Structure 1
Amino acid sequence: MSELASAQSASNESPPPDDLEGELDAFIQPLLIDDNVVHNLAYQFSKVYEELAIRSDEQFLPTPVTKLPTGQETGQFLAIDVGGTNLRVAFIELLGDAEELLPTANGVERSRETIRNAQRPRVRRTLEKAWPIGEHLKMDKTEDLFAWIGDCIAEVVSDRLTSDNDKTPVPEELAMGITFSFPMIQTELSSATLMPMGKGFTISSDLDLGSTLLQGYIRHTRRQSPTSSSPKAKRRKLGPLPRLKVTAITNDTIATLASLAYSVKSLPNSRVVAGIVVGTGVNATIPMKFSSLGEAKVESIRKNKPDATETVVNTEVTIAGACGPLQSMTTEWDRQLDKNCARPGFQPLEYMTGGRYIGELVRLIFFDYMTRAHKPPVPAASLPATIVHSYSFTTTFVSAVVARARSDSELAGELKRRIPPPESSNWGWTPHSAGALRKIAHLVQVRSAGLIAASTVGLLATVGEIALSEPGSPASLPDGMVLTDSKPSSPKSILSSLQRDTRDGLSPAPGSSAWKSGPEELVIAYTGGIIQHYPNFKEQTQRFIDRLVMRAGVQDGGKSVFLREARDGGIIGAGVLAGMETMERNSS
C-alpha cells in the first residue's frame, strides 16, 4: 500500500466527493516518498558524505572523543544541556559496574543474569531542573543569555549544597560536562568554538563556549548580599558557591551516543554505532577512522592523542553541503519555507525534518491548498489566523492534536474549538478540510521519517557498517525483479564484498564469523522531541531502515539496524563524558 493510500485509510469517515478527494491527491503528490526514493537518497548521501569527510571544513568534524565509555566510569558530575528550546541542569551520578551480577556456570541462569545486568540502571540523576529558553533570550546579547544560564546553574548547585543539610563540605571545584545543541569546532574535550548556527539564536560564531559559560556563572562564586531586587537569592545559599571546571563539552548527538553506550549494557552481538537527534533541530554522529577523514582535520587530535586511530564525528548532515541529493524532491513549499526562514539555504534537511519547521511546512501546504487548489478557493481573510500567519501553527499542535485524531469529524470538532475562523468569516471547519489537514500532516511526517532513514543508513554505509547496493542493481530490487541481462549476485559474493568493508576501532564489528553466535544488531541511539513523541515517527523511520537494509541482501554478520531511545541523552551524555575525561586524567 502506498503512503498516500495509508493516509486515506487513516480516516474512518465517509470520503468527501470524488472530485474534492481527487484534487487533494493531485495537489499533495509532490510529497509522496517510497522505498525507491529513500534507497536512491541513501546511496547518494553515502557518496556525498565520503567526500565531505575528506574535504569539508563545516561538516564531518572530528571531535576529541576517540573512544566510547567502558561502563566502568563512576562519580557524580554537574551536567548542563543547552538545547534549541530548553535548558536543563542536573547532577549525574555514574554507578558503573559496582552492582553487576557475576556470571554463573549454569547456562540458563547466566542468560537471565545477562538480561538483568542489561536492565539495571547505571545512571542516577538528582536535583534536575529545566527552563524554557524564551525567544527574547535567543535574541539577547550573548553575555545576557549566558548570565541567565549561569543563574540557572547556580540555582541547582545551591540546591545540591543545601540538600545535604550542610553536612557535606563545600567542594572547591565541581567537574562539569556541557552539551550544546549547536555546531562547534574542538581540538580538546574541555573547550569548543562555536560555528555559524541556526535555531533562532543570534549568538555570534567564533565564541569560546566554555569560558563564556563560566563567565556567566562566576559572580556566584563571590559572596553576595541579599537585596530586594533578588528574591531568589534570599531563598538560596548566598554563596560563595564552588567554582566550576569545564571537563567536557560536546553536542547533543555525541552526548546521545555516549549516553546509550554507557547506560545500556549491551546484550551479546549488540553494538551502539551511531547517534541521531530529531527534535527542534536534527543532527547525527558516527565513529570514523582517521583514514576516512582529511589529514588536516585530524592533525590536532593526533597531537593530543597519538595512539588514537578513530574519532566520533559531528556530521552536521543538515547543512547545505550534504543536501545536494534532496534537490530532486524539494517542493515549492520547501523552497518557500527556506526563502522565508532566518537563514535561507543553510540547513535544507533540517527545514524538511526539524521540529522548528514541520508545523510551518504543514501550514504552508494547507494554506496553499485552501486558497488556491480547493474548489471553490477560500479567501485568506476567511481562514483562522493560525493558518494565515507564519509559524503560528506549531509542530507541537500538529503532533498533539492533528496526528492523534481518530477521525476527520473528531478533528474538525477539535479545530473548531481550538483555531476557529474569524467571526466575520462564512467558512468553517468540515470533515473534508480537517481531513485535508490531517492527510498533509501525515505525508509530511512520512517524508520526514524517510529522509531521516536515508541519511542514517547513508552514514552507516559510508563507514562500512553495512553494504548499500547501487539503485537499479539486481540486489536493490524487490524479490522477483531482475534487470534484463543481469544476474543476481550469489550470497557468497555478497559476503565477500562486505568483508572487505568490515571496520574496527571504537566499536569493532565481529565480521562474518559472528554468524556462529547469532546475527548482529547495530544500535542507533536516538533522542529528540520529534522522534520520541510524534505519533508513529520512530516506527515509520524504523520501517524505512529495515527495508533499506533488506534491499542490499545478506549483510555481513547477519546485521540488522535497530533504533533505540536514549532518553535524556543530552544531559546524561554530558555527565558520562565528564566521567570519562576525569577517569582518564586520574589514570595518567
Structure 2
Amino acid sequence: MHEELVEDEEEDGADMDPSLQEHLERQRMLDEFLSPIALDEAVLYKLARRFSTVYRDLALHSKEQFLPTPVTRLPTGLETGRYLAIDVGGTNLRVAFIELLGEATESDVRSTDASERSRDTIRKAQRQRVGRTLEKAWPIQEHLKMDKAEDLFSWIGDCIAEVVAESLTSEATRGHVPEELEMGITFSFPIMQESLTEATLMPMGKGFAITSDLDLRKILLSGYEKHTRRPDNESEPSSKRRKLFELPKLKIAAITNDTVATLASLAYAVKSLPNSRVAMGMIVGTGCNATIPMKLGMLHESKAKHVKSKDPQAEETVVNTEWTIAGAAPPLRELNIITKWDVELDRACARPGFQPFEYLTGGRYIGELIRLVLYDYLTDVSGLSKRVLPATLIQEYALTTTFVSDKVARSRSDQELADELSRSLPPPENSEWSWDVVSAGVFRKIARTVQRRSAGLIAAAVVGLLACAQEIELKVDSNEGSPQNPSVSLPEYNGTPDLSAVSKSLSPSTLDPNDARSGHGPIVPVLSPTPTPADWQSGPEELVVAYTGGIIQHYPNFKEMCQQYIDRLIMRTGPQKSGKSVFLREASDGGVIGAGVLAGMVGNG
C-alpha cells in the first residue's frame, strides 16, 4: 500500500508542468533563505514573556531606561482652555493653538431608556474634544540642523512669533492682547527633566549637529524674546514689523517628549469612550519608543524618591521606556531572533550595539535591512555579480524605507513592480541583467517578511510592556487559546494580508457588524469555549495603545499586522481579567495636541 502511494506521488510530480515545478522550487529556496527572519507565534509569545521580565528588571535597576517623567497623572478629560503648542520633530516644526473643549454640559437626569443612553454614549464619543487653529508647519532645513543651537532656536522663535502675531489679528483675539501665553512643547529628542516646566536637551542625533546638553526652557525663550520688545533703533516701526514685535511673552507650562505627548493626547480624547482606557503610548516611525504609567513601587527607590520629591501625593508616574536600547536586547539574542543581516547592519551603523531593537523596527533602518537581504539573495543564491545590479542595491542606505513603502509594498502584482523597478531602480546601462517578474517577486517577499517580523516584534514588546505594568497577565507558554487554523495569522492575496480572510476565520461573536471596532480588525480577548469570568459584570475593558509615527501610520497594512499579532498573543494566554483586550488607536498629530493637553493639565490645576 505504501509503495502504491509513493508511486502515485512520483507520477503526480512527473505530470507537473516544468515551469510550475521551477516556480515551486524557487519559492522553496526563497522560503528557506528567509527562514531566519520568519518568526512563528510561539517564539513571539516567548519573547513577550521575556520582555516583560527584562522590562521589570530595567525599571528597578537601569539608569538609562524606564526613566520617570514629571507626568504623574493622565488628563481627566475635563481640562479646558486655549494653549500655544509647539512640536519640534526630527524633520518638521509645527506650531498651533490648541483649544481643549472638555466634557459637554450634561443633564443631571439620566435617561432610564437603555437605547437612549446608548445614543447618548455614541454622541458623547463622537463629539470633538480638541480644536486646532492657526496651525503652521515648517520643514527643518539641513543647514538649520547643522547650525549652532542659538541659530536653530532663533529660527524656532521666529516661527512661533509668526503664529502668535497672526493670532492677535484673528477674530477670536482681536482687541485683546494677553500679557503672556501659556505654552506646551514637545521634543522628539532625548530630554532629561527635573520638572514639567524645565528640561535638558541631550545630544540630538537624527542628523542634528547639537552635541552639548542644552537648557531647553532658557534657549527657547531666548529665541523668541526679541519679538516681545520694540527694536531700539526704530521709534516708529512699520505695521508689518510691529506685528512681529511687542508680542506677548511666553509662559512654558509643560515640556515633554513625543511619546508622552502621544499618550496624553489620546488619553484626553478617549475619556469619552465607555470601557476604554489609554494604557500606553508608542512611536513607530524613524525611531521607536514607548511610554507607560507605572506604580512607583515598581521603580528603583531613587527613581520613586525623585518623583515623590516633586509630587508628594504621586502614586505612579509616566515612564519613558527607551525600550530600544541595549539593556532590553537579551531576549532577542536568547531566542535567536538576531540574524546575520541584523549583525551586519548593526556593525555598520553609527552606534553599533546601542539600539538593537530599533535596528529591527525603526524606519531609518528597515530599508537598509531589506537591501542587505535582497543583495545577499541576488549575489549568493542567484549568483549575480554586483556589477550588474542597480547602484541603489549596492550603496549603504540608498534603499529607503519610504521607497519600499510607496513602491514595493503597494504594488499589486510582481509584473507591476517589475515595471516600476525598471524605471526607478534601473541596472547599469551595460548590465545584461534586468528586473523581471521573478526578481520583483523576490523583492516583494523579502520586504514583506522583514516588515512582518518588525510588526511581530512590536506586538511582542507591547504585550510584554503591558504585562510588566500588570495591565495584563501572560501565563506559562501554552498552545491553549491559540487558533488551530494557521490562515488566521496573516493570510495573503497577491502578497498583501487579506484581512477579510482573518475575519471569516474568527467566531461571529467577535465580528459583530454593529461593533464600532470591527473596521479595525478583529479584537478577540477570549476564546468562545472559555467560561465568562466573574469580574466581567461591568463589561469588557479595552486597553488602548496610543500610536503615532510614519511606519505604523503609513506603511501598508503594518498597523493591521501589529494588531493581529497582539490579538493572537493575548488569545494564546487565555482570558484576561475584566475581559481585557488590547487595541491600537491612532493619535494623529499627538505631538502638538499632547503639548496643548499637558499645558492644559497645568493650567487647570
> In 2, are the aligned partners of 1:146 and 1:212 still within 8 Å (CA)?
yes
Correspondence 1:380 to 2:386:
yes
Alpha-carbon displacement from aligned partner over 1:234-292 (angstroms, at most 9, x marks no partner): 58823122221111011111111111111233433221111111111111111100000
- Of the candidates 282, 307, 310, which is equivalent to residue 304 of structure 1? 310
Stretch of structure 1 that moved more, 314-323 or 158-167: 158-167
Stretch of structure 1 that moved more, 359-368 or 544-553: 359-368
- Partner of 2:575 in structure 1? 554
For 2:242 and 2:163, the matched residues in 1 are separated by: 10
- Of the candidates 385, 400, 404, which is equivalent to residue 406 of structure 2? 400
- Partner of 1:144 in structure 2? 151
Cα drift, residue 113 of structure 1: 0.6
Correspondence 1:44 to 2:50:
yes
Structure-to-structure mapping, 1:182-221, within 5 angstroms: 182-195=189-202, 198-221=205-228
Cα drift, residue 322 of structure 1: 1.2
Relative distance call for 1:346 and 1:200 in structure 2 (3 A) is farther
For 2:49 and 2:354, the matched residues in 1 are separated by: 22
- Partner of 2:453 in structure 1? 447
- Of the candidates 272, 277, 302, which is equivalent to residue 283 of structure 2? 277
For 1:512 and 1:348, the matched residues in 2 are separated by: 39
Alpha-carbon displacement from aligned partner over 1:444-464 (angstroms, at most 9, x marks no partner): 110110111011100110111
After superposition, the CA RMSD in angstroms is 2.5
Stretch of structure 1 that moved more, 60-69 or 190-199: 190-199
Paired AA for residue 356 in structure 1: R
Counterpart secondary structure, 1:518: coil
Stretch of structure 1 that moved more, 97-106 or 13-22: 13-22
> In 2, are the aligned partners of 1:226 and 1:238 still within 8 Å (CA)?
no
- Of the candidates 326, 350, 353, which is equivalent to residue 361 of structure 2? 353
Alpha-carbon displacement from aligned partner over 1:289-320 (angstroms, at most 9, x marks no partner): 00000111122221221111111111110111
Relative distance call for 1:118 and 1:477 in structure 2 (3 A) is closer
- Partner of 2:338 in structure 1? 330
Relative distance call for 1:338 and 1:141 in structure 2 (3 A) is farther
> In 1, are the aligned partners of 2:262 and 2:591 still within 8 Å (CA)?
yes
Relative distance call for 1:217 and 1:381 in structure 2 (3 A) is farther
- Partner of 1:530 in structure 2? 551
Counterpart secondary structure, 1:334: helix
Relative distance call for 1:167 and 1:197 in structure 2 (3 A) is closer
Relative distance call for 1:100 and 1:158 in structure 2 (3 A) is farther
Relative distance call for 1:218 and 1:565 in structure 2 (3 A) is same
Relative distance call for 1:474 and 1:535 in structure 2 (3 A) is closer
- Partner of 1:159 in structure 2? 166
> In 2, are the aligned partners of 1:275 and 1:285 still within 8 Å (CA)?
yes
Alpha-carbon displacement from aligned partner over 1:450-509 (angstroms, at most 9, x marks no partner): 1110111001101111111233x57577679xxxxxxxxxxxxxxxxxxxxxxxxxxxxx
Stretch of structure 1 that moved more, 533-542 or 236-245: 236-245
Cα drift, residue 361 of structure 1: 1.4
Correspondence 1:265 to 2:271:
yes
* Unpaired runs of at least 5, structure 1: 1-12, 481-510
> In 1, are the aligned partners of 2:270 and 2:277 still within 8 Å (CA)?
no
- Partner of 1:22 in structure 2? 28
Cα drift, residue 68 of structure 1: 1.0
Paired-residue identity, %: 63
Count of residues in correspondence between the two structures: 535
Alpha-carbon displacement from aligned partner over 1:103-136 (angstroms, at most 9, x marks no partner): 4332211110111101101000111111223344
Q: Give the TM-score normalised by structure 2.
A: 0.83
> In 1, are the aligned partners of 2:482 and 2:568 still within 8 Å (CA)?
no
Cα drift, residue 204 of structure 1: 2.4
Paired AA for residue 355 in structure 2: Q
> In 1, are the aligned partners of 2:270 and 2:276 still within 8 Å (CA)?
no
Paired AA for residue 427 in structure 1: W
- Partner of 1:129 in structure 2? 136
Alpha-carbon displacement from aligned partner over 1:391-417 (angstroms, at most 9, x marks no partner): 222211111111011100001111112
> In 1, are the aligned partners of 2:482 and 2:571 still within 8 Å (CA)?
no
> In 2, are the aligned partners of 1:223 and 1:238 still within 8 Å (CA)?
no
> In 2, are the aligned partners of 1:512 and 1:556 still within 8 Å (CA)?
yes
Larger radius of gyration: 2
Stretch of structure 1 that moved more, 417-426 or 248-257: 417-426
> In 2, are the aligned partners of 1:408 and 1:432 still within 8 Å (CA)?
yes
